[in-house]
Amino acid sequence: MLRPLLILLLLAMPVAAQQLEDRLADPAQELRARELSRELRCLVCQNQSIEDSNAPLARDLRRIVRERVALGESDQTVLNYLVDRYGEWVLLKPRFNAQTLLLWLGPPLLLLIGGGVLFALYRRQRSAMVPAAVALNADEQRRLADLLDDREPRP
């Protein structure tokens, strides 16, 4: 009897660890706050969203997001506030604008350039393997005709 209870307690510990922060009373607002938190980068961890991070700064950012959502601000207004305060870097998926143009278009351009280089190398190698047709002189034409006619070559 004690063993199942212990297992249940051990399984419940991670759930209890996630309940450290104040949650919003409205489930719809809480869901919005969580979705927004998944779009924002933890400035300490850098490769995690603030939703997944346990850093104190991420906790503060989650609190700011929840406060602003509770005030009724739109998602875009909350994101704009945090971008104004912390810069574009706070967004896990940067916006498409003049400052991030190279970030968004760089990888496809590199793929196109690499593909073009590979195609050019392939064409060059292929053309080097096939010799160009050379016209035969009169003596070579005569020898070729002899070979094709199965005759003995003439001196």
Render pLDDT for 42-73 as a digit per residue (tens, 0 to 9): 888 878 899 988 889 899 999 999 999 999 99
> Is 44 in contact with 58 (CB distance < 8 Å)?
yes
User: Between the CA of residue 6 and those of 3, 9, 54, 59, what are the distances in Å?
Assistant: 5, 5, 26, 30
- Residue spans of the chain under pLDDT 70: 1-2, 4-6, 8-21, 130-132, 151-155
For residues 19 and 10, what is the distance between their CA atoms, to the nearest angstrom?
15
Both tokens of 7, joined, read 């297992």
Q: What is the pLDDT of residue 155?
A: 57
> Considering the chain, what is the average pLDDT of its residues?
82
Beta strands in 83-140 (DSSP E): none
Q: What is the pLDDT of residue 10?
A: 66
| DSSP category for residue 100 | G
